Structure 1
Amino acid sequence: MDQSGRCRIFIGESRALLRLALPVWVGQLAFSAAGVVDTLMSGRVGTVDLAGVGMGASTWAPVLFGMTGLLLGVSPMVAQLAGGGKKEVIADVVHHGLLLALMAGLSVALLLQCMGPVLRFMGTPDSVITVTLLYLRGLGLGVPAMAGYLVLKCFSEAMGDTRPQMLISLFGLGCNVCLNFLFIYGGAGIPAMGGAGCGWASGLTFWIMFIGMAVYLMRARAFRSLRWVRRPRFRRAPLEELVRLGGPISLTLFMEASIFGCIILFIGGLGSTVVAGHQVAMNFSGLIYTIPLSIATAITVRVGQATGRMSLHDAMNAAWTGMGLALVVAACTLTVTFLLRHMIVAVYVPDPAVRAMAADLLILGALYQLSDAVMTASLGALRGFRDTAVPMRLTFLAYWGIAMPLGYTLGMTDWLVPRMGAAGFWISLITGLSLAALMLLLRLLRVRKKHIHRFLQ
C-alpha cells in the first residue's frame, strides 16, 4: 500500500476513534473533575480536611479501579457480539453484568467501612483518620449504584453510542457540586461535615447517575430493540465468562491504582503538607489520564467489533492509530504540565508549602505521560482481543515486582540515596509505567501474530 493509502486509512480510523473517544473523554473529565472539586472545596476548609479527603480518595481509588475492571468484561463481549451480528445475545450479557455489579458493589461498600485499622497501622494522624472514615462511610452508600452505572456505561459504549455517559457525567458533576455545598457546610437539616461531606455528596451522586443511565437506555429506540429490559435468565456460564475476562482487568487496574493508594499511605506519616502536596499533584495527573483512557476505550470498541467480524486488518489499524493519537496528546499534555505547573497548583490550594511540594511533583508527573499513553492504548487493544490474563501478569511484574519496591527504597529509606519522600515514589512510577508499556506493546505484537493464524484457519 502506498503512502497516500496509509494516510487515508489513518485519517479515517482517527475520525472513527475520536467520534467514540471525545464523548468518553468529556464524561471521564466530568467524573474526574468531581474529584478536583472535592479537593478544591475541602482544601478551602483546611489542610487536615484536604489530607483526609485525599486519604479517602486514595483508599477508594484502587477499589474503584478494581471494581471497574471486573465489570469491563462487558465491553469486549458486547462489542464482539455487535460486530458479529449476534445482537440477540447482548441482553444476556448485560443482565449477568448487572448481577455481577450488585455482588461487587455490596462487597466494596462493606470493605470501605473497615479501613480504620489500616489507616492507624500506616501511622496516619488521628485528625486525618476522622475525616477519612466519615468520607468513606458516605461514599460506600453509593458504591452499588456506581457498579450498576459502570455496566450500563460499558453496554452503551460497546454499541458505539458514547454520548449518554457524557451527558449523565456532566449532570452528575453539577449535582456533586451542589451536594458538596450542602454536606460540607450543612443545611436543610443536614449537619456540616467539613471536607468529609464530599464522600456523602459523591455517594448520592452515584445513585443519580445510575438512575439516569438506566432511564436513557430503557427509552432510547436503538437499545429498546435489543430487548434488554426483560426478565433475566441467569446461568453460570455467562457469569463465569464475565469474571474470566473482567477478573484479570480488575487485578490489572487494582495493581495500578493501589500503587498510588499505597504511596499516600506510606507518606501519611510524613505530615499533612506532604500528603496534601502529593494529593494535588496526583489529582491533576489523574485529570490528564482521562485523555489516553478515553482513547483506549474507543480502541477496545473498534478492535472488539473488528474481531467480531473476523477482520484482523481493521483491528490492528484501530490499535496503531489509537496509539499514535495517544502519543500526540501525551506530548502536548506533558509540555503544558511542565510549563504551567505553578499556575496549576495555585488553583488548588493557597498554602505556599503545599504549592511548592505539588509543583515539584508535577515535573515528575509530566515525565511518565508518554509511557502511560503507550501502556493504556496497548491495554485497550488487548481487551478488544479479549486478551486480559497475560497483561495482568505483566503489569504485576512492572508495578509490584519493580516499581513498588523501588519506590519504598527511594522514598522511605537511605539504602541507595538519602530518603527522597514522595519524589522517590514518583520516580518509581516512571520506571514501572515505562516497563509496563514496553511489555504490553510486545504482547500486542504477539497477539496479532496469534490471530493471523486463527483467522486463516
Structure 2
Amino acid sequence: MISGEKRPSPWVFQPWPVGPLSAAPTGPKSIGLFLKPSTRENFFCIYRISICKYKRFVVEIKHASGRSRIFFVESSALLRLAIPVWIGQLAFSAAGFVDTLMSGRVGAVDLAGVAMGASTWVPVLFGLNGLLLAVSPMVAQLVGAGRKSEIVDVVHHGLLLAFIMGIIIGLLLQCMQPVLRFMGAPADVIAVTLLYLKGLGLGVPAMAGYLVFKSFSEAMGDTRPQMLISIVGLFCNVALNFLFIYGGFGIPAMGGAGCGWASGLTFWIMFLAMGIYLGRARFYRSLGWLRRPRFRGRLLKDILRLGGPIGLTLFMEASIFGCITLFIGGLGAIAVAGHQVAMNISGLIYTIPLSLATAVTVRVGQAVGRKSIRDAMATAWSGMGLAFLIAGITLTCTLVFRYWLVALYTPDGAVQAMAAGLLVLGALYQLSDAVMTASLGALRGFKDTAVPMRLTFVAYWGVAMPLGYMLGMTDIFLPRMGAAGFWISLITGLTLAACFLLLRLLRVQKKPL
C-alpha cells in the first residue's frame, strides 16, 4: 500500500468499488448515484438496486406463462387482501396485551381476575366469530355470480343473528359466578372477574355486529376499513382503560375490572364506526343495504348451517389449547409460565396464516360464484403455497430469535429456558398449521364446513389431546415429558388435520359447482 494512502474502513460495506451506479452489475444508469464510504449510503444504494431488481422480476413474471405466473398473480391478490386483515388482527390482539399490562400494574389480584375473565371470553369470541364468518363466503359467492341484489339480505340476517347471539352471550357472562366458584378461584379474584365480565358483556352485541360488517367488507374485497378501525379501537381501548381503571369524570375507579368496561365501550365505538363507513360509502350504499330488512327463515338457516361448523371448529381449536394449559398447570409455575410465553408468541405468529385464510376464502368464494373451478383451485393452491413459504420464514425467525423473544416477556432464566425449548417445537408445527389454516379457508370458500369440522375434531380431540396426556403426564410410551409432550402432540394433531383437509380439498374440487 502506498505510504500516506487512506485505508478504507473494514466496517463499511461496499458491494463493489466506489463509483457511479452504472458501473454496478444491475440498476439503470439514470439513477447516477455514487457510493460513499458510509454505511447509510451503501444501504440506500442496495435498497435502490433491490427495487430495480424487483421491478425487473415483476416484468419478467408478467410476460411468463404457466404456474409461476399464476402463483405470482394469485399471491399478489391474496396479499393485498390479507395484509390489512393481519394488521387489524394484530391491533385487536394488542388490546388484550394492553389489558394484561395495565391490570398487572394495579395488583396481582386484578391481573388474575382479568386473566380469568379473558380466558372465559376468548373461546366464546372464537366461536361467535366462526358462526358469523359464514357471511364472508356467502357474500363472496354472490359477488362472483353477479347477484349483488341478494347481498343485502345476507347482511341483514347476519346482523339479526349477531344481535341475538350477542345478547344471549352477554347475559350468560353476567351469570358466571357459580362456574368461577366451582373452579376454586379465590373470592377476591372472582369479584374482579365478575365486574370485568359485566362490562364486557354489555359490548358483546356490538362486537357481534362489527364481525358481520367486517365479513361483509372483506367479502367485497375491501379490507382496509377494518384495519383502520381496529387501530383506532386499540387507541380508544388504552384511553378508556386509564379512565375506568383509575377513575375520572364522575366514573369511579374500578381497578383491573375496568378493562372489561373499556373493552365493552370500545366494541360499540368500532361497531358504530364501521356502520357509519358502510352507510356513507357510495359503493356500499349502491347495494341498498340500508333499506328495510325482509325476513327469510331459509336464509337464517343457511347462515347457521354454514357458520355453526366454523364456530365449533374455532372453539375446539381454542379450547384444546386451554385444556392443555390446565394440564400443564399441575407441572409447576415454571412450566406454566414458559408454556404461556411460548403460546403467546405462537399466537401472534398464527395471525399471519389466519389472515391469509380470510383472503383465500374471499377469492375462492368469488371464483365459485363465477362457476370457475380452475380459478378457485388456483387460488387455493397458491394460498397454501404462499402460507407454506411464509411459515418457512417465520419458522427460521422463531428458531434464530427465540431467546431474544422470550426475554421480552420475562427476566427469569428458568422460564426463558423453558419457553425457548417449547418454541423449537412451536416452530415445527408452523408449517402444518399454515397448510391446515389455508386449506380451511379454501374449503370455506366452497361452503364446505361440516366435514372439515369433523376432521379437525378427530385430529384435535381424538389424537392430539390423548397423545398429549400420555406423553406429558404418564410414562406409557416414554418417560414423562411434561409440557414438551403436549407440544409434540400439537405437532401431530395439526399435521394430521392438514393431511385430512388437503384430501378433503382434493375431493371437493371434483364436485360440480
The normalised TM-score by structure 2 is 0.82
Secondary structure at 2:509 match in 1: helix
Report which of the two structures shows the higher radius of gyration computed on alpha carbons: 2
Q: Partners in 1 of 2:465 and 2:247 — Cα distance?
A: 40
Secondary structure at 2:320 match in 1: helix
Counterpart position of 1:279: 340
Q: Partners in 2 of 1:55 and 1:289 — Cα distance?
A: 22
Alignment map for 1:11-50 (pairs within 5 Å): 11-46=72-107, 49-50=110-111
Note closer, same or farther for the CA distance 1:436–1:163 as it changes in structure 2 (3 Å cut). same
Amino acid at match of 2:225: P
Note closer, same or farther for the CA distance 1:283–1:193 as it changes in structure 2 (3 Å cut). farther
Q: Partners in 2 of 1:291 and 1:395 — Cα distance?
A: 20
Amino acid at match of 2:446: F
The farther-off stretch of 103-112 and 431-440 is 103-112
Secondary structure at 1:383 match in 2: helix
Counterpart position of 2:307: 246
Deviation at 1:365, TM superposition (A): 2.2
Deviation at 1:110, TM superposition (A): 2.6
> Is 2:439 the partner of 1:378?
yes
Amino acid at match of 2:366: Q
Q: Partners in 1 of 2:304 and 2:211 — Cα distance?
A: 15
Note closer, same or farther for the CA distance 1:141–1:276 as it changes in structure 2 (3 Å cut). farther
Note closer, same or farther for the CA distance 1:177–1:411 as it changes in structure 2 (3 Å cut). farther
1:381-440 deviation per Cα after TM superposition (whole angstroms, max 9, x unaligned): 000001011001001111111112222333444554555444333222222111111100
Q: Partners in 2 of 1:259 and 1:417 — Cα distance?
A: 22
Counterpart position of 1:97: 158
Deviation at 1:173, TM superposition (A): 1.0
Amino acid at match of 2:201: G
Deviation at 1:78, TM superposition (A): 0.4
Deviation at 1:46, TM superposition (A): 5.0
Residue of structure 1 aligned with 2:470, choices 401, 409, 430: 409
1:339-395 deviation per Cα after TM superposition (whole angstroms, max 9, x unaligned): 222322333345555544433333332221111100100000000001011001001
1:81-124 deviation per Cα after TM superposition (whole angstroms, max 9, x unaligned): 01100000100000000001011112222333344444444455
Amino acid at match of 1:386: K
Deviation at 1:22, TM superposition (A): 1.1
Which is helix-richer, 1 or 2?
A: 1
Deviation at 1:289, TM superposition (A): 1.0
Deviation at 1:12, TM superposition (A): 1.0
Note closer, same or farther for the CA distance 1:122–1:337 as it changes in structure 2 (3 Å cut). farther
> Is 2:328 the partner of 1:328?
no
Deviation at 1:155, TM superposition (A): 0.5
Residue of structure 2 aligned with 1:211, choices 266, 269, 272: 272
Choose between structure 1 and 2 for higher RCO, CA contacts under 8 A separated by at least 6 residues. 1
Counterpart position of 2:259: 198
The farther-off stretch of 52-61 and 268-277 is 268-277
CA contact (8 A) 1:39 1:280 kept: no
Alignment map for 1:118-157 (pairs within 5 Å): 118-124=179-185, 128-157=189-218
The normalised TM-score by structure 1 is 0.91
Note closer, same or farther for the CA distance 1:159–1:82 as it changes in structure 2 (3 Å cut). same
Q: Which runs of 5+ in 1 are unaligned?
A: none
Deviation at 1:281, TM superposition (A): 2.6
Q: Partners in 2 of 1:446 and 1:182 — Cα distance?
A: 54
Counterpart position of 2:488: 427
Q: Partners in 2 of 1:3 and 1:170 — Cα distance?
A: 39
> Is 2:279 the partner of 1:181?
no
Q: Partners in 2 of 1:140 and 1:152 — Cα distance?
A: 20
> Is 2:70 the partner of 1:70?
no
> Is 2:176 the partner of 1:82?
no
The farther-off stretch of 163-172 and 6-15 is 6-15
Identity of aligned residues (%): 77
Note closer, same or farther for the CA distance 1:25–1:422 as it changes in structure 2 (3 Å cut). same
Counterpart position of 2:420: 359
Q: Partners in 2 of 1:124 and 1:420 — Cα distance?
A: 28
CA contact (8 A) 1:122 1:268 kept: no
Q: Which runs of 5+ in 2 are unaligned?
A: 1-62
Note closer, same or farther for the CA distance 1:107–1:416 as it changes in structure 2 (3 Å cut). farther
Amino acid at match of 2:97: V
Counterpart position of 1:109: 170
Report how many aligned residue pairs link the two structures. Answer: 451
Note closer, same or farther for the CA distance 1:254–1:232 as it changes in structure 2 (3 Å cut). same
CA contact (8 A) 1:278 1:361 kept: yes
Note closer, same or farther for the CA distance 1:55–1:154 as it changes in structure 2 (3 Å cut). same
Amino acid at match of 2:211: L
Q: Partners in 1 of 2:495 and 2:349 — Cα distance?
A: 17
Deviation at 1:441, TM superposition (A): 0.8
Counterpart position of 1:59: 120
Residue of structure 2 aligned with 1:392, choices 450, 453, 474: 453
Q: Partners in 2 of 1:387 and 1:447 — Cα distance?
A: 8
Note closer, same or farther for the CA distance 1:172–1:404 as it changes in structure 2 (3 Å cut). same
Amino acid at match of 2:461: W
Alignment map for 1:338-349 (pairs within 5 Å): 338-349=399-410
